[in-house]
Structures are given as C-alpha cells and as structure tokens.
Amino acid sequence: MGQNLIRVQDLEDNPTARVPVCLCLDVSGSMNIIIPGTGRATNEQRVIDGQRVYIAEGGVSRLDEMQKGIESFYETVRSDPQAHDAAEICVVTFGAGGAHIACDFAGVDRQTVPRLSADGETPMGEAVNLALDCLEQRKKEFKEAGVDYFQPWLVLMTDGVPNGNQQALEQAITRTRNLANANRLTVFPMAVSEEADLATLSRFSPKRPPAKLKNMNFKDFFEWLGKSVQQLSNSVPGEKPTLPHDNVDTWWEI
C-alpha cells in the first residue's frame, strides 16, 4: 500500500514527459562464461545452458560486464537533469526460474541498480511477454495520472538460443512486431556473443536488424543508450533516437 502510494505520488508530482525503458536481459548460465583473455582455463569441462564449456579460474564474465554496463546506464541517465526526471527504467531478466522482474518502474532516484546473477536456461519468450506487460502497465498508469510519455524502448540482450516455451516465444514475437510496426515501441535487439541466435532476435525487430556487441563492450552500449535518453528528453529533431557518431566505429557492428 505504502509502496503503491509512493509510486502514484511520484507519477503525479513529476511533470516531465517520461521515457520508459525496459531492459530485458539474458541471465542464463552461459552469461557466466569468462571473456577470453581475462581468466585461466582449467581442463574441467561442463555443459551449461546447452553449451560445452571449460571451467576457468578468475577472469571477468559476460555478466560482470553487463552489470557494469547497467550501472553506467543509470549513471549517464542520472547525470543529466532532464534525462534524470524523464527516464523510467525497468529490468526483466530470464534465466533460472524463468522470467523475473529484477527492478520495476520508478523514478531513477528511487531505484537501486539490481545485482544480477546468472544461472539456468534462456526462456526469452516468457521474459519479453513479461517486459511488454510491464510497459503496458506503466503506460496505463501514465494515462490515468495524465502524464506525458514517449513511446517505450525495449532492449533485448541475449548470448544464446531461446529454449523456453515455444508458444510464449511466438506470442512475444508477434506482440513486439505489432507494437514496433505501429510505432508504439522501439526495439533494440542485441546479440552479446557469437552463439546468440540472430535469426530469432531479428524476428523481434521489424525495423532494426539485431546488433552484435563487440568485445563485450556493454559499457559503451549502455552509455550510448543513456545519451539517447538524454537526447530524447532534450532538444529533439524527431521522436526517434539517433546514433551518436563518435563512438559508433569502436563497438557498433551491424
């Protein structure tokens, strides 16, 4: 009840037009894979999330990098006065135990950056459905309170192949495509590794081909995303985010 009141109060008091962003993130077991060159491999082998891997000692995992990326995203958004008031972030994860809301919508001040841990499978369809539900719910709340908003963004990141419920996956794809085609959602599909299922990712996004993250450079991606939120909530030549030209070459590969 108290939590809900704060949620409503936040909505009503803050007059800024909102940019709802939902990060839909893969936290399956394979996200624990150590980035080449950062750890020392042992001879032990195991099958994790459908992949045969060596066990490593030390090093930096994909998840570690993603965690840092999300933190820098929050930092970028919080540092700009306009984006700070405009951004609304929600984090949905998929891994062990299915799809899960790691952090529900609220002003960025009230949120603590969720700490992610990786395990289990890749139920992507379920997660995207949950993410779309969250976005729908938040839009409904905006409308009821009389708060302006921009059409939401969905960032979908995976390093593998979806292996959840097939029906849920098809439903998620249809929902996402319909929204994107009607200009009611902007989708950013991101392949985190070479093993990621580009074919499925591209089915989620009728307007923008999936992008491959180079060298696990989550930080740059999320900084760019934060800058795009800044850009959207500041002076804009249209409602669509555009890529800043400076750091495109270093990591963005289409």
Partner 1 sequence: MPTLEKQEEFLEACVRDYDHILIDTCSLMSTGAHAFWQHVLPITRRYGKKIIVPLTVWKELENNSKDLRKDATTRKEAYNALMEITHLQNVGDIQIVGTDQEKNALAHPELADKKKAFADNVFLMVLTVWRMKYDTLTITQDRGLTADILALGQSSNAVRVPKKVHVRALTADGYLRQANRMPGASGVSSAQRPRFPQQRSEPANAGTGEPFAKTTRLQVYPGMMAFQHRPETGAMLSALYSDGRRETLRLGAEIAHGGEGGVYSTNQSGLVAKIYRPEKLTRMKFEKLKRMVAHNIECRGVCFPKALIYNMENEFCGYLMAEAKGKPLQASVFSLWKKGAANPFPTWTKLDTVQLCITILEKIIFLHRMNIILGDINPGNILVVSPTEVYFVDTDSYQVEGFPCPVGMINFTPREILMQGEKLHYDTFLRTEGNENFAIATLLFMIMLPGKPPYSMVGGESQRENIISGDFSYPCGDKSTGKVPQGRWRYCWSQLPYKAMKETFYQTFRLGEPHSTEATRYSAEGWLSNFQAYRKLLKNGNLLENDDQALMIFPTHFKKQAGVTYAKCQLCGREFEERRLSRGYCHECSEKTYRTLICADCGRTFAFTYGEKAFYDERGMTLPKRCEACRKARDAGGHHSSLRAGSLHRSAPRPVQRSHQPQPRPQPRQQPRVDSPQETAKPQGFWDHLFNFFR
Of the candidates 57, 115, 237, 254, which one interacts with partner 1 according to CB under 8 A? 237
Minimum CB distance to partner 1, residue 11 (Å): 8
Which one of the spans 8-16, 32-40, 94-102, 126-134 is the region binding partner 1 (CB under 8 A)? Answer: 8-16
Backbone angles phi, psi at 104, to 5 degrees: -85, 165
The CA distance from 34 to 30, in Å, is 9
Per-residue b/e over 156-176, b at no fewer than 16 CB within 10 Å?
bbbbbbbbbbeebbebbbebb
Across the strands, what pairs with 52?
A: 47
Of the candidates 38, 51, 82, 171, which one interacts with partner 1 according to CB under 8 A? 82
Interaction between residue 249 and partner 1 (CB under 8 A): no
Interaction between residue 136 and partner 1 (CB under 8 A): no
Provide DSSP, 132-154.
HHHHHHHHHHHHHHT--BPPPEE
Which one of the spans 44-52, 79-87, 129-137, 154-162 is the region binding partner 1 (CB under 8 A)? Answer: 79-87
| Number of shown-chain residues binding partner 1 (CB under 8 A) | 31
Closest-CA residue to 251 (of 208, 217, 228, 225): 217
Interaction between residue 55 and partner 1 (CB under 8 A): no
The CA distance from 21 to 155, in Å, is 8
| Choice between 37 and 146, CB closer to partner 1 | 146
Of the candidates 143, 181, 207, 250, which one interacts with partner 1 according to CB under 8 A? 143
Of the candidates 132, 147, 179, 216, which one interacts with partner 1 according to CB under 8 A? 147
Of the candidates 26, 85, 197, 220, which one interacts with partner 1 according to CB under 8 A? 85
The CA distance from 211 to 202, in Å, is 9
Footprint (CB under 8 A) of partner 1, residues 98-127: none
| Cα dihedral sign, 21-159-121-175 | positive
Provide the angle, in degrees to the nearest 10, between the axes of the packed helices 124-145 and 166-181: 40
Footprint (CB under 8 A) of partner 1, residues 161-190: 183
Of the candidates 4, 13, 47, 57, which one interacts with partner 1 according to CB under 8 A? 13
Q: How many CB atoms lie within 10 A of CB 251?
A: 18
Minimum CB distance to partner 1, residue 235 (Å): 5
Minimum CB distance to partner 1, residue 207 (Å): 13
| Tokens standing for residue 53 | 């891997």
Could you list the residues that contact partner 1 (CB under 8 A)?
Answer: 1, 8-9, 11-17, 81-82, 85, 143-151, 183, 234-240, 244
